[in-house]
Amino acid sequence: MPSAIPRRARRRGPRRFTRRDLLVTGVLLGLPILLDLAVIWGPTLASVGLSFTSWDGIGDIEWVGGRNYHDLFTDYPPFWPAARNNLLWLAFLGLIATPFGLLLAVLLDRGVRFSRFYQSTLYMPVVLSLAIVGFIAQLILSRDQGALNAVLARDNPVDWLGDPDLNIWMILLAAGWRHTGYVMILYLAGLKSVDPSLKEAAAIDGAGARQTFFRVVLPTLRPVNVIVGVITVIEALRAFDIVYAVNQGRNGLELLSVLVTDNIIGEAARIGFGSAIAVVLLVVSLGFIVAYLVQEMRQGKVPGGDRETRRGKVPGKAQEKGEEERR
Amino acid sequence: MTAPALPPRPRVRPGRLGLHAFLLTVSLAFLAPLLLAVYASLRPYEETAEHGYFSLPRHLSLDYYRQAFSDSGMSRYFANSLLIAVPGVLITLFLASFAAFALSRLRLRGATALLIVFTAGNLLPQQVIVTPLYVLFNRVPLPYWMSDSLTMYDSYWAVIVVHIGFQLGFCVFVLANYMRTLPMEILEAAVVDGAGVWTQYWRVTLPLCRPALAALGTLQFTWMYNDFLWALVFISTGDKLPITSALNNLRGQFFTDYNLLAAGSVLVALPTILVFFLLQRHFIAGLTLGAGKG
């Protein structure tokens, strides 16, 4: 990596790095870079390449041009339902779970009593693995014994997870259960770092609570808004574990990630074809990743070593401060 | 928050009561699934099959936990999880902290570009890299003492390496931002005293990063422990699965005893919930450290 070679210092004379320094830096910085390239970026490029072949994992690799993509869009029945489900996932997290998390954060930030209890409880699902969330969902939603049917429909049980028109919504509820707490904690930390004098100034100017929040507080939370947006999109595109734990992503629970996995570890490995689905995921997510990084760069948040961050307050620190106050 | 030193509380307004009612309802709704899982795991299948999960208990026991542990060999899967997560977290933190140090403090050319490469890598969907890695690991030979499958596939090495590679991005990003908030003067003083790069990193910078490292360690442990996909794809021998992926084994081919599955789920969730309660501050700080800067 030529870019990693230290350049000579401008200010501190010619011998800023000794030979030992260069060795240490080269090895210890080179290792993570190599690993990142070998495990993340190399395979990403390989996926793109393989998506233009008809490889089955064993025989020769044969170039087929865009055929996989053509088949994918026109001749692969599970594709569109899966894409639709991913979109639903995004819409549900973005329009329901995320605003709900924000609402909870705002309520908790108003200094209610027992806020620690509420906070811990609402946040707890985040530490569970998505696979566990899937299993717990089965416990509640199974047709014959599930708790929900015991309450709602004793005589006429609804097959919450088996009905292909219904099950995706149930799974979304389970996913939202976990997502809400995550969003809440991010906003809570952000809200704590908002300068209180801003709110006071708005109040003096005659702004109501709602106006203050939407016109003054929310815009200052822009960095948090961005990260929450990114997390929401990425979660929606990565969604896999819950549906796989419930029924391996069939019967109404198809997702793009499941289709990729099915095509590569199924009995008939269609690696070329599976890669094409993965590339669709890649293109969509890269769009968001690039938009996000551009935004970060413009704010000077991912600057090179020289520039100091503009941002004065560190939400992590604000969080710690809040904790100290509480003790 | 509810600091004791606040000015005297205004008398309880109806709005406050409504707020508490709302928060309490939501909290209970959030807790209910977990409580139900615990409750179900304590009751025999025959009973819940007949009366449903919402009935009064006639018979409570820890039998399912015993069964999950003895018959299903969960202790082995727990050990597998630790075998993957502990080295994974330690190596990730070591490599990421040095990379972050070099990229944020040493004034290297191209540091920004490298930071972007790391950060973007962590945001990619796992499925994009799964296929080539699967093929690759099948072709990397390992000696028998490292892997009894003689390839990297179906060994812990594959899962650990992927975890490290994938999480490096997040940790480098968080740590680089954290280090940037440390005063540069400390480092400059060390340089004047003749400290080399290693000393600047290990003796000067790293001790100051302890809060960030604790936060990231907690978070990373939970994430690696909770992983489901990597082990599912890269490990084929059932005995080698980590606990989260092995949970599927409690499900029968034709018949699933959901109470046993509930006991298994509770057992698997327990370590992360414990970690969460003991290290809650670090855990939350870890997430918000990453979020603050992006």
Asked if residue B16 is part of any domain, the answer here is no
Q: Does B179 touch chain A (CB under 8 A)?
A: no
Asked if residue B91 is part of any domain, the answer here is yes
Asked if residue A190 is part of any domain, the answer here is yes
Asked if residue A141 is part of any domain, the answer here is yes
Chain B, residues 64-123, CB within 8 A of chain A, namely 95-96, 98-99, 102-121, 123
Nearest CA in chain A to B110: A3
Report the distance separating Cα A30 and Cα B114, nearest Å: 11
Task: Give the contacts of B98 (CB within 8 A, at least 6 positions apart).
Answer: A28, A29, A32, B201
Asked if residue A164 is part of any domain, the answer here is yes
Report the distance separating Cα A8 and Cα A6, nearest Å: 6
Structure tokens at B146: 């490292």
CB atoms near residue B133 (< 10 Å): 26
Q: What is the mean pLDDT of residues B231-260?
A: 81
Q: Does B194 touch chain A (CB under 8 A)?
A: no
**A6 vs B108, B127, B280: nearest CB:** B108
Instruction: For residues A172 and A321, state if they share a domain.
Output: yes
**B119 vs A46, A104, A293: nearest CB:** A293
Mutate which of A22, A122, A136 to test chain B, going by most B C-beta atoms within 10 A? A136
Name the range with the highest mean pLDDT among A244-258, B14-28, B158-172: B158-172
Q: Give alpha helix (H) positions in chain A.
A: 19-36, 42-50, 67-74, 79-92, 98-109, 115-123, 130-141, 147-152, 167-192, 196-204, 209-211, 218-220, 222-238, 241-247, 256-265, 271-298, 315-326
Instruction: For residues A26 and A141, state if they share a domain.
Output: no
**pLDDT value at residue A56:** 82
Instruction: For residues A31 and A167, state if they share a domain.
Output: no
Nearest CA in chain A to B196: A21
Q: In chain B, what residues touch A182 (CB-CB under 8 Å)?
A: 287
Nearest CA in chain A to B244: A131
Instruction: For residues A157 and A19, state if they share a domain.
Output: no
Instruction: For residues A35 and A82, state if they share a domain.
Output: no
AA letter at A269: A
For the domain that residue A136 is a member of, what is the CATH number?
A: 1.10.3720.10
Q: In chain B, what residues touch A227 (CB-CB under 8 Å)?
A: 290-291, 294
Distance from the A205 Cα atom to the nearest Cα atom in chain B, whole angstroms: 24
A240 contacts B110? CB cut-off 8 A: no
**B104 vs A44, A271, A305: nearest CB:** A305
**pLDDT value at residue B7:** 52
B233 contacts A301? CB cut-off 8 A: no
Instruction: For residues A95 and A217, state if they share a domain.
Output: yes
Domain that holds residue A170: 78-237+297-326
**Which of A209, A238, A320 is closest to B124 using CA atoms?**
A238
Buried b / exposed e across B13-47, counting CB within 10 Å, b at 16+? eeeeeebbeebeebbeebeebbebbebbbbbbeeb
| Angle of helix A79-92 versus helix A222-238 axis, rounded to 10 | 150
Q: Does B190 touch chain A (CB under 8 A)?
A: no
A4 contacts B165? CB cut-off 8 A: no
pLDDT > 70 in chain B, percent? 91
Q: What is the mean pLDDT of residues B138-152?
A: 86
**B30 vs A177, A316, A323: nearest CB:** A177
**pLDDT value at residue B254:** 65
B276 contacts A21? CB cut-off 8 A: no
Q: Which residues of chain A are modeled with pLDDT < 50? A: 1-5, 8-14, 302-327
Asked if residue A279 is part of any domain, the answer here is no
Asked if residue A197 is part of any domain, the answer here is yes
**pLDDT value at residue A112:** 82
Instruction: For residues A13 and A93, state if they share a domain.
Output: no
Asked if residue A104 is part of any domain, the answer here is yes
Distance from the B30 Cα atom to the nearest Cα atom in chain A, whole angstroms: 6
The CA-atom distances, in angstroms, between B257 and each of A92, B48, B65, B71 are 31, 10, 13, 14
Report the distance separating Cα B165 and Cα B169, nearest Å: 8
Structure tokens at B181: 């908030």
Asked if residue B24 is part of any domain, the answer here is no
Q: How many CA atoms lie within 13 A of B287 on its CB side?
A: 24
Task: Give the contacts of B214 (CB within 8 A, at least 6 positions apart).
Answer: B279, B282
Distance from the A207 Cα atom to the nearest Cα atom in chain B, whole angstroms: 20
- How many domains would you assign to chain B? 1
Distance from the B149 Cα atom to the nearest Cα atom in chain A, whole angstroms: 18
Instruction: For residues A115 and A195, state if they share a domain.
Output: yes
Instruction: For residues A11 and A99, state if they share a domain.
Output: no
The CA-atom distances, in angstroms, between B29 and each of A88, A315, B4, B24, B268 are 23, 29, 29, 8, 21
Asked if residue B122 is part of any domain, the answer here is yes
B106 contacts A6? CB cut-off 8 A: yes
- A50, A271 Cβ separation under 8 angstroms: yes
Report the distance separating Cα A267 and Cα A251, nearest Å: 19
Poorest-pLDDT segment among A86-100, B218-232, B248-262: B248-262
DSSP letters, B108-154, are -TTHHHHHHHHHHHHHS-HHHHHHHHHHHHHH-B--TTT-TTSBSTT
Distance from the B75 Cα atom to the nearest Cα atom in chain A, whole angstroms: 18
Mutate which of A132, A260, A275 to test chain B, going by most B C-beta atoms within 10 A? A132
Asked if residue A129 is part of any domain, the answer here is yes
Q: How many CA atoms lie within 13 A of A10 on its CB side?
A: 4
DSSP state, residue B7: P
For the domain that residue B174 is a member of, what is the CATH number?
A: 1.10.3720.10
Mutate which of A41, A135, A160, A188 to test chain B, going by most B C-beta atoms within 10 A? A135
Confidence class of residue B135 from pLDDT cuts 50, 70 and 90? confident
CA dihedral A255, A261, A262, A265 (to 10 degrees): -170
DSSP letters, B165-193, are HHHHHHHHHHHHHHHHTS-HHHHHHHHHT
Q: In chain A, what residues touch B133 (CB-CB under 8 Å)?
A: 39, 43
B99 contacts A32? CB cut-off 8 A: yes
Mutate which of B20, B104, B119, B124 to test chain A, going by most A C-beta atoms within 10 A? B124
Q: Does B35 touch chain A (CB under 8 A)?
A: no
User: For residue B79, is pLDDT > 90?
Assistant: yes
Domain that holds residue B176: 77-235+272-292
Average of per-residue pLDDT values in chain B: 85
B3 contacts A32? CB cut-off 8 A: no
Instruction: For residues A33 and A166, state if they share a domain.
Output: no
The CA-atom distances, in angstroms, between A205 and each of A208, A213, A221, A241, B179 are 9, 14, 21, 49, 39
Nearest CA in chain B to A49: B132
Asked if residue B66 is part of any domain, the answer here is no
Nearest CA in chain A to B105: A305
Of B28 and B67, more confident: B28
Asked if residue B33 is part of any domain, the answer here is no
Q: What is the mean pLDDT of residues B99-107?
A: 91
- B190, B200 Cβ separation under 8 angstroms: yes
A39 contacts B162? CB cut-off 8 A: yes
AA letter at A121: T
Instruction: For residues A232 and A113, state if they share a domain.
Output: yes
Instruction: For residues A86 and A213, state if they share a domain.
Output: yes
CA dihedral B24, B28, B29, B33 (to 10 degrees): 170
- How many domains would you assign to chain A? 2
Asked if residue B146 is part of any domain, the answer here is yes
Asked if residue A258 is part of any domain, the answer here is no
Of B163 and A153, more confident: B163
pLDDT tens, position by position, B89-98 = 999 999 999 9
